[in-house]
Amino acid sequence: MLRSLATSTTAAMRSASATAPNSARTVLPAGFLLAHRAAPTLTAIPYRTTATTGCRRKKKKKADDIVDNRLLIKDAVAILNNREGAQPNHSIHALIKVRPEKGMPPLRGTLILPEKVPKKIRILCFAEGAAAEAAKAAGADIVGTTDLIEPITKGELQFDMVISTPESFTVATKVAKILGPKGLMPNVKKGTVTTELAMTIDVLKNSIRYTSGRTGDVRVTVGKVGFTPEQVEKNLKFVLDEVMGYIALAPGKKKIKRNKFVHKIWMNATFSPALPLRMTQFTF
Q: In this structure, what are the phi and psi dihedrals at residue 99, rounded to the nearest 5 degrees?
A: -115, 85
Query: Which amino acid, 203?
Result: V
Predicted local confidence at residue 65, as pLDDT: 42
pLDDT, tens only, 207-236: 888 888 777 788 899 999 989 999 999 999
The dihedral built from the CA positions of residue 88, 210, 125 and 159, taken in this order, carries a sign that is: positive
pLDDT, tens only, 136-150: 999 999 999 999 999
pLDDT, tens only, 52-63: 445 555 555 444
Predicted local confidence at residue 135, as pLDDT: 93
What is the CATH T-level fold of the domain 123-204, as seen in this structure?
A: Rossmann fold (3.40.50)
Please tell me the distance from the alpha carbon of residue 127 to that of residue 201, in angstroms, as a whole number: 13
Domain coordinates in residue numbering, the chain? 2-35, 123-204
Query: Sorting pLDDT into bands at 50, 70 and 90, what band is 2?
Result: very low
* Helix extents (H) in 20-129: 32-35, 50-53, 73-83
Q: In this structure, what are the phi and psi dihedrals at residue 236, rounded to the nearest 5 degrees?
A: -65, -45
Residue 15 has pLDDT above 70, yes or no: no
181 vs 12 pLDDT, higher one: 181
Please tell me the distance from the alpha carbon of residue 268 to that of residue 275, in angstroms, as a whole number: 6
Among 183, 127, 179, CA closest to 153: 179
Residue 253 has pLDDT above 90, yes or no: no
3-state DSSP assignment of residue 116: coil
Least confident of 33-42, 160-169, 180-189, 261-270: 33-42
